[in-house]
């Protein structure tokens, strides 16, 4: 599956609102809006729901995390092969809530490439974004942790964090794409993220905690549709 | 779901032989033998396959690991609620390949009890078995790590580790059941484990790596059937 | 060095008030009060100051933490042998700010015994205290983390946590001694801890953050002197 | 203290040969050769010996590790302030035996700069070297872990790892200096490391495990002296 941009990536975190059967329900809602609008909307369900969700939708599905081990005697670990076998197209790594070490990101990015899996490496500062870009993942997602879950978008609170991240990535490894995360809840936030030079957004509570999932996702993608 | 003993618990680890669709295939094979024999055979598939497998079999399904966090902003973590929503009846924790801290076992055991989830806490020495029993899980599974994957059963190599574990658990917390792990591959190993005072076995490669899963599982349970 | 009870153990944490040369100053102040009163007052300076402090005082010195590795290729780790070579008489482990796993406590306790080093294992709940006692350390120090640094002593806020810990330890491993920590700042707190069946206290900010160290320590030990 | 190059940095790891009083003995031997030759020879003793050694020698002393926390309630942690108060001029971080996360390296490098402490960030591959250079430490030390302790110098076994690391660092952050580690035991290895564009070497067992420390260090620096 080839990933098209702009990309809206919805992280289900470990919210119970999107756990078990509701994970599939949310994924199918995202799929409905994606089909109606032609835009790429991807989901990252909880680890336990990964195969269950990926087996039942056709939009891109990501793992929220992966370990740096190959298949084998690794009870309780998540391998890239398991992610692939589950039907996901790739994986997030290094989210602020689940950081891994740089040498592990290096191993995971290299192995993911061999397995044709997409890597989305989360970062917190322009310097860390630059560092992670040097490891050559497909996507880096810059998310100042202090804004996560606040509803205050990074594009408003700290646009310079995004623009300097975009610049550093262009200089160090222009093949790497940049997503913008933290505090995203409205379509205007998404439009602002794209204006700052990113290819899309990573968000969680803005959708998962919304009362009406379809409405929340439609509002997110509207400004992109108008732009197109 | 009430768990009946003796219990055979098959840990899929992160073996690729039992990943993705093959996870369900192995779980269904276990289910077939369980139905034919009336014995409890439970499975612990990889995290990513948990919901997918649990949604499609009726034998007890366990998670291989769980984190000590409640549902919320915990990207890449496994909550007890996610395990429950996935349809599993409980979880392993503290496997030698994925140790957690004692205070985390304490939190997980207490929260699992509230959620009516079964906890299987892995241990390595009689002293650690005693310590984990003091935390009040449903089951402790003693597995000397140096024997894991060797095919040399602990019941032969170190029977005193099992018997002293059983004794310590009886003294400290007699409500806790003891499983025996590491090196189990034959029905004779299972029978020996039961003779040493345990309620069953935890095993992995002995089944997962077998060429003929059904044959391997049948051979495991045969001595128990004869005993009954 | 044989440890005598009651024991006052002052943890310097990583407070800058007791770092570098000031670590030795605080240790010498503790030594002065100890000599004047005949009571055992021990100190746990920061890792970096361990040898420097232990080489210059004669009161018992503890490490704040130790890793479960033997001397060798372990850059940045603290071995029991290094603790001993530094002149300390033992080590704290599993502090709420630096938890280790139960299997690591098991290894450390066993190795410390061989090296004649004293182990003080910190715990948070009666259940974890029971679990750690099962591993056979010299001392367990029960400290409800929510009270650490509050100035509200556990003996007042949650005396039942201390008494049930003392009872469980007596039942599981009566050779293990119990220290009481969290929120200790006054001599009355120390007296209360002893009345609840512990052999002394573990404290930090109550002394380290005091303007007059000597006065703070004298006030702590006064009720014990009267009792004697 | 200003650091002069070339630099020989001797990591004592947790070898017992260089623990306690012997740590100071080895540091004084390094100091003697440094004074005789005018070359910069720095030492990284065990954490517990840091203050003790730094207080008694005048050559540059490094910590083997530091945590990403500020002074405060962090029992068992090593702060940059403690490293400074102990008299060290800086710290190694991210050694293959004690990796930290990229966001932690970022925090530590920025805080160390404010405290005028020198940072030496260890790396394993050219990509990770590039990533760490993007975080702006003073020095990166490339050490292929598979060669550590083998006596096979990276300059012979994998010179391209060193040269491509040097190139990447020049492109991404030319202010960062490169040290070469792993398998260094002879003066010829040191000379080769300098020829490949590095400013010196990081080594451990080659000196610490030598029967005659002074002889081992003299042999290391000899080719540099001839070159000068």
Q: Do B19 and A149 touch (CB under 8 A)?
A: no
Residue ranges in chain A modelled with pLDDT below 70: 1, 227-228
Residue D14 lies inside a defined structural domain of this protein? yes
Residue D228 confidence (pLDDT) above 70 = no
Report the chain D residue with the minimal C-alpha distance to residue A103: D128
Residues 6+ apart with CB under 8 A from D6: D39, D40, D190, D194, D199, D200, D224
Which residues in chain B have their CB less than 8 angstroms from residue C123's CB?
Answer: 103
Q: What is the DSSP letter of A152?
A: -
- The minimal CB distance from A95 to the residues B49, B76, B149 is found for B76
User: CA-CA distance, B180 to B196, in Å (whole number)?
Assistant: 9
User: CA-CA distance, C153 to C157, in Å (whole number)?
Assistant: 6
For B:169-208, CB contacts with A below 8 A are 204-205
Q: Do A76 and B65 touch (CB under 8 A)?
A: yes
Q: Do B102 and C105 touch (CB under 8 A)?
A: yes
**E strand map for chain C:** 7-11, 40-44, 62-63, 90-93, 118-123, 139-142, 177-181, 200-203
Q: Sorting pLDDT into bands at 50, 70 and 90, what band is D148?
A: confident
pLDDT digits (tens, 9 = 90+) for A37-93: 999 999 999 999 999 999 999 999 999 999 999 999 999 999 999 999 999 999 999
Q: Do A105 and D105 touch (CB under 8 A)?
A: no
Please give the tally of structural domains in chain D: 1
Q: Does D16 touch chain C (CB under 8 A)?
A: yes
Q: Do C73 and D97 touch (CB under 8 A)?
A: yes
Residues 6+ apart with CB under 8 A from A213: A25, A26, A29, A30, A207
Residue ranges in chain C modelled with pLDDT below 50: none
Residues 6+ apart with CB under 8 A from A36: none
Partner residues linked to B180 by β-bridges = B142, B201
Q: Do D16 and C95 touch (CB under 8 A)?
A: no
pLDDT digits (tens, 9 = 90+) for D73-88: 999 999 999 999 999 9
Residue A53 lies inside a defined structural domain of this protein? yes
Q: Do B172 and C124 touch (CB under 8 A)?
A: no
Helix (H, G, I), strand (E, B) or coil at C147: helix
Q: Does D121 touch chain C (CB under 8 A)?
A: no
User: CA-CA distance, B134 to C131, in Å (whole number)?
Assistant: 5
- The minimal CB distance from B78 to the residues A48, A71, A84 is found for A48
Residues of B with a known catalytic role = 95, 143
Residue A116 lies inside a defined structural domain of this protein? yes
Token pair belonging to B164: 């002293």
Q: Is D216 annotated as belonging to a binding site?
A: no
Residue B167 lies inside a defined structural domain of this protein? yes
- The minimal CB distance from C127 to the residues B94, B99, B135 is found for B135
Q: Does D124 touch chain A (CB under 8 A)?
A: yes
Q: Do A46 and B78 touch (CB under 8 A)?
A: yes
Burial class (CB in 10 A: 0-12, 13-18, 19+), C159: middle
Residue A103 lies inside a defined structural domain of this protein? yes
User: CA-CA distance, B202 to B224, in Å (whole number)?
Assistant: 15
User: CA-CA distance, A82 to A69, in Å (whole number)?
Assistant: 11
Determine the distance in angstroms separating the CA of A94 from the nearest CA of chain B, rounded to an integer.
Answer: 9
Q: Does D82 touch chain C (CB under 8 A)?
A: yes
Burial class (CB in 10 A: 0-12, 13-18, 19+), B154: buried
- The minimal CB distance from A48 to the residues B15, B75, B82 is found for B82
Determine the distance in angstroms separating the CA of A145 from the nearest CA of chain D, rounded to an integer.
Answer: 11
- Cβ-Cβ contacts under 8 Å between C and D: the total is 178
Q: Do A48 and B47 touch (CB under 8 A)?
A: yes
Residue D227 confidence (pLDDT) above 80 = no
Contact A35, A57 (CB under 8 A): no
Residues in the annotated binding site of B: 11-13, 148, 183, 204-205
For residue C140, what pLDDT is reported?
Answer: 97
Residue C2 lies inside a defined structural domain of this protein? no
pLDDT digits (tens, 9 = 90+) for C17-31: 999 999 999 999 999
For residue A19, what pLDDT is reported?
Answer: 98
Token pair belonging to A114: 């061999």
Which residues in chain D have their CB less than 8 angstroms from residue C48's CB?
Answer: 47-48, 50-51, 63, 78, 82-83, 85-86, 88
- Cβ-Cβ contacts under 8 Å between A and D: the total is 75
Average pLDDT (B85-96) is 97
Helix (H, G, I), strand (E, B) or coil at B61: strand
Partner residues linked to C42 by β-bridges = C9
Touch of C by B (3+ CB pairs closer than 8 Å): yes
Give percent of chain C with pLDDT exceeding 90. Answer: 82
Q: Sorting pLDDT into bands at 50, 70 and 90, what band is D35?
A: very high
Residue A164 lies inside a defined structural domain of this protein? yes
- The minimal CB distance from B13 to the residues A75, A84, A87 is found for A75
Among all chains, which residue has been given the structure tokens 């004779």? B188
Residue B158 lies inside a defined structural domain of this protein? yes
Q: What is the DSSP letter of C105?
A: H
User: CA-CA distance, A109 to B58, in Å (whole number)?
Assistant: 37
Q: At what angle do helices B159-172 and B126-133 cross, to 10 degrees?
A: 20
Residues in the annotated binding site of B for substrate: 11-13, 148, 183, 204-205
Q: Does D134 touch chain A (CB under 8 A)?
A: yes
User: CA-CA distance, B68 to B81, in Å (whole number)?
Assistant: 11
Q: Does A44 touch chain D (CB under 8 A)?
A: no
Residue B1 confidence (pLDDT) above 60 = no
User: CA-CA distance, A125 to D72, in Å (whole number)?
Assistant: 24
For residue C228, what pLDDT is reported?
Answer: 56
Q: What is the domain extent for residue B56?
A: 7-227
> What ipTM was assigned to the predicted interfaces of this complex?
0.95
Short-list D150, D151, D154, CA closest to D123: D154
Q: Is A77 a catalytic residue?
A: no
Residue B166: C-alpha distances to residues B134, B163, B173, B192, C105 (Å): 13, 5, 10, 14, 21
User: CA-CA distance, B57 to C169, in Å (whole number)?
Assistant: 44
Short-list A106, A76, A108, A74, CA closest to A91: A108
For residue B150, what pLDDT is reported?
Answer: 77
Q: Do D14 and C52 touch (CB under 8 A)?
A: no
For A:90-109, CB contacts with D below 8 A are 94, 96, 99-103, 105-106
Which residues in chain B have their CB less than 8 angstroms from residue A73's CB?
Answer: 13-15, 97, 148-149, 204-205
Q: Does A25 touch chain B (CB under 8 A)?
A: no
Which residues in chain C have their CB less than 8 angstroms from residue B133's CB?
Answer: 134
Q: Do B128 and C172 touch (CB under 8 A)?
A: no
Q: Is C70 annotated as belonging to a binding site?
A: no
Q: Which of A168-172, B107-111, B224-228, C143-147 has the lowest mean pLDDT?
A: B224-228
Short-list D84, D133, B87, CA closest to A168: D133
- Cβ-Cβ contacts under 8 Å between B and C: the total is 75
Token pair belonging to C206: 């109550």
Determine the distance in angstroms separating the CA of D120 from the nearest CA of chain C, rounded to an integer.
Answer: 13
Q: Is D155 annotated as belonging to a binding site?
A: no
Report the chain D residue with the minimal C-alpha distance to residue C204: D73
The enclosing domain of C74 has a CATH number of: 3.20.20.70
Contact C199, C6 (CB under 8 A): yes
**E strand map for D2-82:** 7-11, 40-44, 62-63
Contact D116, C136 (CB under 8 A): no
Q: Is A34 annotated as belonging to a binding site?
A: no
Residue B15 confidence (pLDDT) above 90 = yes
Q: Is D127 a catalytic residue?
A: no
User: CA-CA distance, B211 to D219, in Å (whole number)?
Assistant: 58
Sign of CA dihedral D47, D49, D53, D54: positive
Q: Does C135 touch chain B (CB under 8 A)?
A: yes
Token pair belonging to B134: 């003091």
The CA-based diameter of chain C, rounded to the nearest angstrom, is: 51
Catalytic one among C127, C143, C160, C222? C143
User: CA-CA distance, B126 to C135, in Å (whole number)?
Assistant: 9
Other CB atoms closer than 10 Å to residue B174's CB: what's the count? Answer: 9
For residue A180, what pLDDT is reported?
Answer: 92
The pair phi, psi for residue C213, each rounded to 5°, is -55, -45
Contact A155, A189 (CB under 8 A): yes
Rounded to the nearest 10°, the torsion over CA D111, D113, D115, D117 is 110
């Amino acid at each position: 599956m080839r990933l098209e941009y702009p990309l809206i990536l919805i992280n289900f975190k470990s919210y119970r609102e999107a756990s078990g059967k509701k994970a599939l329900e949310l994924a199918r809602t995202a799929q409905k809006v994606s089909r109606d609008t032609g835009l790429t909307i991807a989901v990252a369900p909880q680890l336990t729901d990964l195969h269950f969700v990926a087996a039942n939708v056709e939009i891109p599905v990501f793992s929220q995390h992966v370990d740096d081990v190959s298949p084998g005697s690794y009870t309780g670990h998540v391998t890239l092969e398991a992610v692939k076998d589950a039907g996901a197209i790739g994986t997030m790594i290094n989210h602020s809530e689940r950081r891994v070490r740089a040498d592990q990101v290096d191993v995971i990015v290299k192995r993911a490439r061999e397995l044709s899996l997409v890597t989305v490496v989360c970062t917190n500062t322009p310097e860390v974004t630059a560092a992670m870009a040097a490891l050559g993942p497909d996507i880096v997602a810059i998310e100042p942790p202090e804004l996560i879950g606040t509803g205050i978008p990074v594009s408003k609170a700290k646009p310079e964090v995004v623009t300097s991240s975009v610049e550093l990535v262009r200089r160090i490894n222009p093949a790497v794409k940049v997503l913008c995360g933290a505090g995203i809840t409205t379509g205007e936030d998404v439009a602002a993220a794209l204006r700052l030079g990113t290819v899309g957004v990573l968000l969680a509570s803005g959708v998962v905690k919304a009362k009406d999932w379809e409405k929340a996702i439609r509002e997110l993608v509207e400004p992109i549709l108008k732009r197109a």
